[in-house]
Structure 1
Amino acid sequence: MSTDFFKDISPITFAGADSADPMAFHHYNPDEMLGGKRMEEHLRFAVAYWHSFAWEGGDPFGGQTLERPWHPQDTMANAKLKADAAFEMFRILGAPYFCFHDADVRPEGSNYAENTSRLDEMTDYFGTKMEETGTKLLWGTANTFSHRRYMSGGSTNPDPDVFAFMAATVKSCMDATQKLGGENYVLWGGREGYETLLNTDMGQELDHMGRFLNMVVDYKHKIGFKGAILVEPKPQEPSKHQYDYDAATCFGFLQKYGLEKEVKLNLEQGHAILAGHSFEHEIATAAALGVFGSIDMNRNDYQSGWDTDQFPNNVPEVALAYYHILKAGGFDTGGTNFDAKLRRQSLDAVDLIASHVGAMDVCARGLKAAHAMLEDGGLETALAERYAGWETPEARAMLGSDLGSITDRVLAQDINPQPRSGRQEILENYVNRFV
């Protein structure tokens, strides 16, 4: 059914770069072909249910500013009204996917059984809406960080009853994701970390987290879930020391617990910045380690030291991210989820649509620039030239040699190399031609 929330907003269409219409796509044309694939299939856009529909506009210094027809979010009737509005927005945007946490879509119950019953009811409701609209589920996940029971973590909690409640909740969310045909399942360890070592057994917590993730993988295979299991790196926030700090840290964790062939990463732009990295660094790291899965697209305010989850608007940043995604072969089951929210003073339904329209356009511009750079091959040529010395038989043989033999070669050939320019500025100028 339709709601009145978006009643004056027409479906967004592609109008082209010369259009001045703020409620039209200027760069995102889902049917435009890039390298034999439609733009929609490259980008695989998803709307984040939590920020777009469950978030009420609060921040660390103030409470609710957004007033929606489905507030308060404490009844099943309002949960269904919220779903009606959500699918109406998906239709307006032409968004092919959405993502959700269990707590976004159903009100909190009095116990686990009531939570699960409500989630099951909403899963069936979603199934009907998805069949009507054609919108698909990119991934589902469980919120095991917001409720006060999780103040000391979920899988890393010192209380085994909290671990049990968390594990059962994840099982119910995996079941819902499977039922809705979700293409991935994400584990977002929002409080898997610690505030102080004075009350933390780090070794035990890491072992419990590793054992839990193995349980998730085992259950995936038990129910025949064909999608990917994804872990999302998240530094510093909200715990002072997060175990899932960045891509490299997560890969080390996966290796330690024998999961590097079973689990991939869902990477977020804002989290990369909080970790002291660029987004392309995190993507390239995951791709090099064979664990790249999907992305949450947003941005942070660079004057703030926390995760502001703003919609992307920096084409050069986005272009480099998609460059490394395309270079790695593009998305498989993953996609581009807008883990982004309105500013708390952007109150209207039109703001919610416009924010996604702009973000989809920025991603489309970035994707086209990334594709053009790969087609041109300038960066790949420069990279090949810089590492050309390693293509010689003598250089390759050195990697299978030993320190003594290498030393003998240096002495015999009187090797005394001089540094060569990395030409960073020239390459930056090259990128600027495309963005």
Structure 2
Amino acid sequence: MSDFFKGIPALRYEGPDSANDFAFHHYNPDEVVMGKRMEDHLRFAVAYWHSFAYEGGDPFGGRTFQRPWFDGGMAGAKQKADVAFEMFDLLGAPFFCFHDADVRPEGADFAENTRNLEEIVDYFAAKMERSKTRLLWGTANLFTNRRYMAGAATNPDPDIFAFAAATVKTCIDATHKLGGENYVLWGGREGYETLLNTDLGAEAEHMARFLHMVVDYKHKIGFKGTILIEPKPQEPSKHQYDYDVSTVYGFLKRFGLENEIRVNIEQGHAILAGHSFEHEIAMATSLGIFGSIDMNRNDYQSGWDTDQFPNNVPEVAVAYYEILKAGGFTTGGTNFDARIRRQSLDPEDLILAHAGAMDVCARGLKAAAAALEDGSLEAARKARYAGWERAEAQEMLASGTLDGIAARVLKDGINPQPKSGRQERLENIWNRFV
């Protein structure tokens, strides 16, 4: 045990009337919503990188946090793990997520990186035997080290491609050993800065080959988890190849991977792409590639990815509405890809940020469930498309031709008039629940 969270109690559900900061006011893990425990719906995960590796820096200033494990080598990595699992227990978090670089010190070469990772994975495994917290997903950091400044799978240097592939192999092994339910590929620099030095065709082919190797290795070792790609449009690269859900799907379809890989959707990335979070979720569910979510928010004044904890219940609710409508999570969950602000220096800030976010998500889930169970929105949606249930409409889709349809329009005197989309009424219905 460490003393990092000394004096902070384990959080319990006390209800909305409680004035206790160190309690859940809306998140009751055992409350049944639509026939399932709230904990099993939401499947919360703590992000190792933001919670334990983030130093409080921003583009204009460096480290503000003073954590006892910073710069501590392997001993520091183990101390960080001790603190992490203490926090998981305080929150009752069912899952966590990590990059390799978050959990192990950087070695001099690939062999040392691998030894360091394997040592900390064994340390995790021992801790997980005494904790309820499981691994939602693991991933490889293929963007921070300077070797990846021009990408990993899309790097013009085949040796960097090889180093990245070898690193992913070790991270899949780690995820598999720890019983992870997913493996994520985030191409933080899989894109370009300028077309003057970029071969788009070659980079697409190389990235596809990389993904095929990941899928092949998953099956070779018997990893039953889901492979996920996390879309992002830009930042740090000027343009990234995994721009949004539709772009990712087109890429997967082009290279025959659409049945093997799904998406992990982040709220902040959706906004950067010019979409809403719920749009990206709905698009993924409609395409059959929805997997998991990274829950956070951006500061809408900043225009960049600020990775703040969610605090907007209506915004969260509409996202969970799309998830519940599609049947809920399977192997995925709600990962808090969010970090406390660089002025939030105290250990309790880390606990309270997660507690507040879990409450916000609980409120959003319950609102979404109530709206879905009410059925008014879905009934209105069905009514709007009811004309397509008529026999002639079905025949038009199945075997219609332009000349045949034109003849029917003339024969039947079809002269349709537009009908109201009733958006304001539907928004009023939605607002009854949020």
* Shared fold, TM over 0.5: yes
Secondary structure, aligned partner of 1:186: strand
Shift of 1:69: 1.1
Instruction: Tell me the residue number matched to 1:126.
Output: 124
Q: In the TM superposition, what are the counterparts of 1:20-31 in structure 2 within 5 Å?
A: 20-31=19-30
Instruction: Tell me the residue number matched to 1:391.
Output: 389
Looking at structure 2, the residues matched to 306 and 35 of structure 1 have their Cα atoms a distance apart, in angstroms, of 36
Please state if 1:303 is matched with 2:307: no
Shift of 1:218: 0.2
For residues 150-196 of structure 1, the C-alpha deviation after alignment (integer angstroms, 9 at most, x for no partner) is 00000000000000000000000000000000000000000000000
Shift of 1:421: 0.5
Looking at structure 1, the residues matched to 433 and 132 of structure 2 have their Cα atoms a distance apart, in angstroms, of 34
Instruction: Tell me the residue number matched to 1:41.
Output: 40
For residues 243-286 of structure 1, the C-alpha deviation after alignment (integer angstroms, 9 at most, x for no partner) is 00000000000001100000000000000000000000000000
Q: What is the letter of the counterpart of residue 75 of structure 2?
A: A
Shift of 1:71: 1.5
Instruction: Tell me the residue number matched to 1:177.
Output: 175
Looking at structure 1, the residues matched to 356 and 100 of structure 2 have their Cα atoms a distance apart, in angstroms, of 28
Instruction: Tell me the residue number matched to 2:185.
Output: 187
Q: What is the letter of the counterpart of residue 349 of structure 2?
A: D
Looking at structure 2, the residues matched to 69 and 111 of structure 1 have their Cα atoms a distance apart, in angstroms, of 25
Shift of 1:20: 1.8
Shift of 1:147: 0.3
Instruction: Tell me the residue number matched to 2:12.
Output: 13
Looking at structure 2, the residues matched to 303 and 423 of structure 1 have their Cα atoms a distance apart, in angstroms, of 31
Instruction: Tell me the residue number matched to 1:202.
Output: 200
Q: What is the letter of the counterpart of residue 247 of structure 1?
A: V
For residues 71-92 of structure 1, the C-alpha deviation after alignment (integer angstroms, 9 at most, x for no partner) is 22x5000000000000000000
For residues 30-81 of structure 1, the C-alpha deviation after alignment (integer angstroms, 9 at most, x for no partner) is 0000121100000000000000000001111100001111122x50000000
Secondary structure, aligned partner of 2:129: helix
For residues 312-344 of structure 1, the C-alpha deviation after alignment (integer angstroms, 9 at most, x for no partner) is 001011000000000111000000000000000
Instruction: Tell me the residue number matched to 1:151.
Output: 149
Q: What is the letter of the counterpart of residue 32 of structure 1?
A: E
For residues 337-372 of structure 1, the C-alpha deviation after alignment (integer angstroms, 9 at most, x for no partner) is 000000000000000000000000000000000100
Q: Which of 57, 78, 81 is 2:79 aligned to? A: 81
Instruction: Tell me the residue number matched to 1:141.
Output: 139
Task: Compute the TM-score of the two structures, normalised by the length of structure 1.
Answer: 0.99
Instruction: Tell me the residue number matched to 2:422.
Output: 423
Looking at structure 2, the residues matched to 15 and 69 of structure 1 have their Cα atoms a distance apart, in angstroms, of 32
Q: What is the letter of the counterpart of residue 397 of structure 1?
A: E
Q: What is the letter of the counterpart of residue 78 of structure 1?
A: G
Shift of 1:377: 0.3
Identity fraction in percent: 73
Instruction: Tell me the residue number matched to 1:69.
Output: 68
Looking at structure 2, the residues matched to 17 and 261 of structure 1 have their Cα atoms a distance apart, in angstroms, of 43
Q: What is the letter of the counterpart of residue 410 of structure 1?
A: V
Shift of 1:134: 2.0
Secondary structure, aligned partner of 2:223: coil
Looking at structure 2, the residues matched to 268 and 390 of structure 1 have their Cα atoms a distance apart, in angstroms, of 34
Shift of 1:304: 1.0
Q: In the TM superposition, what are the counterparts of 1:332-343 in structure 2 within 5 Å?
A: 332-343=330-341
Q: Which of 219, 222, 234 is 2:220 aligned to? A: 222
Matched residues, number: 433
Q: What is the letter of the counterpart of residue 324 of structure 2?
A: L
Q: In the TM superposition, what are the counterparts of 1:347-386 in structure 2 within 5 Å?
A: 347-386=345-384
Instruction: Tell me the residue number matched to 1:402.
Output: 401
Looking at structure 1, the residues matched to 358 and 305 of structure 2 have their Cα atoms a distance apart, in angstroms, of 21
Note the residue ranges of structure 2 that are not aligned, 5 or more in a row: none
Please state if 1:244 is matched with 2:252: no
Looking at structure 1, the residues matched to 425 and 22 of structure 2 have their Cα atoms a distance apart, in angstroms, of 37
For residues 204-251 of structure 1, the C-alpha deviation after alignment (integer angstroms, 9 at most, x for no partner) is 001100010000000000000000000000111110110000000000
Secondary structure, aligned partner of 2:120: helix
Note the residue ranges of structure 1 that are not aligned, 5 or more in a row: none
Q: What is the letter of the counterpart of residue 342 of structure 2?
A: R
Looking at structure 1, the residues matched to 302 and 199 of structure 2 have their Cα atoms a distance apart, in angstroms, of 31
For residues 289-314 of structure 1, the C-alpha deviation after alignment (integer angstroms, 9 at most, x for no partner) is 00000000000000111100000001
Shift of 1:202: 0.5
Looking at structure 2, the residues matched to 38 and 246 of structure 1 have their Cα atoms a distance apart, in angstroms, of 31
Q: What is the letter of the counterpart of residue 29 of structure 1?
A: N
Looking at structure 2, the residues matched to 246 and 361 of structure 1 have their Cα atoms a distance apart, in angstroms, of 28
Instruction: Tell me the residue number matched to 1:59.
Output: 58
Looking at structure 2, the residues matched to 268 and 45 of structure 1 have their Cα atoms a distance apart, in angstroms, of 14
Q: What is the letter of the counterpart of residue 350 of structure 2?
A: L
Looking at structure 1, the residues matched to 31 and 423 of structure 2 have their Cα atoms a distance apart, in angstroms, of 32
Looking at structure 1, the residues matched to 313 and 57 of structure 2 have their Cα atoms a distance apart, in angstroms, of 28
Looking at structure 1, the residues matched to 214 and 77 of structure 2 have their Cα atoms a distance apart, in angstroms, of 28
Instruction: Tell me the residue number matched to 2:109.
Output: 111
Secondary structure, aligned partner of 2:300: coil
Shift of 1:415: 1.1
Looking at structure 2, the residues matched to 20 and 61 of structure 1 have their Cα atoms a distance apart, in angstroms, of 37
Secondary structure, aligned partner of 1:217: helix
Instruction: Tell me the residue number matched to 2:89.
Output: 91
Instruction: Tell me the residue number matched to 1:101.
Output: 99
Runs of 4+ in structure 1 over 2 Å off = none
Instruction: Tell me the residue number matched to 2:3.
Output: 4
